[in-house]
Structure 1
Amino acid sequence: MATTRITYTDGTSELVPITMRATCKAEAHAIDAGWGPITQSPVRSGAYAAYAALRMAGRTMPDFEHWLDTVASFDLAAPKEEPEEGNPTD
């Protein structure tokens, strides 16, 4: 699962895990909104996937266009590194 770092115009930022469901919602919204497939509008579709992920996490949000006005940037965040587990038989 990808994680996106959203930086807002007020200087705050947050990490948002982008689930497959959020990506599918973005794809469906892109088609419904006339943006075309994700490949024709990858930035806007990526932003919508982050927006959908936040909404599915229970966040109360304005509509997408108003929320987007508060976003300065979004970037793929580095994945969390899981600590390696040693061999339990050593």
Structure 2
Amino acid sequence: WAGQLTEVAERAVPGLRDRLLWHEVRTPAEVAADTGAADGAIPVPSLAGADGRLLHPANSTRTDGLFTVGGWSHPGGGLPHAGMSGALVAGLVVEGPEFRGSQ
């Protein structure tokens, strides 16, 4: 599965595989054994309060064309927010940094 994901990613970023220095594939059982996390789940940090959203990294980065998505990125954890994160990045890719949904 990791090889298939890398192959798909390399279509967007030619030469990616040659530039990878390290990658690790872990099962939920391995994560549970190493961390004690129930069923190997990796929860995102709970950011309580109105200012919590400010602690998640932005979806855009200093590197042109490199974006962050998922529970650890804006707007935060949980399945709905991870999906919103993907939608925000899609808007950034299509419309550029002026995309209002990323504000």
| TM-score, normalised by the number of residues in structure 1 | 0.29
RCO comparison, higher one (Cα < 8 Å, 6+): 1
What is the TM-score of this pair, normalised by structure 2? 0.26
Structure richer in helix, relative to its length: 2
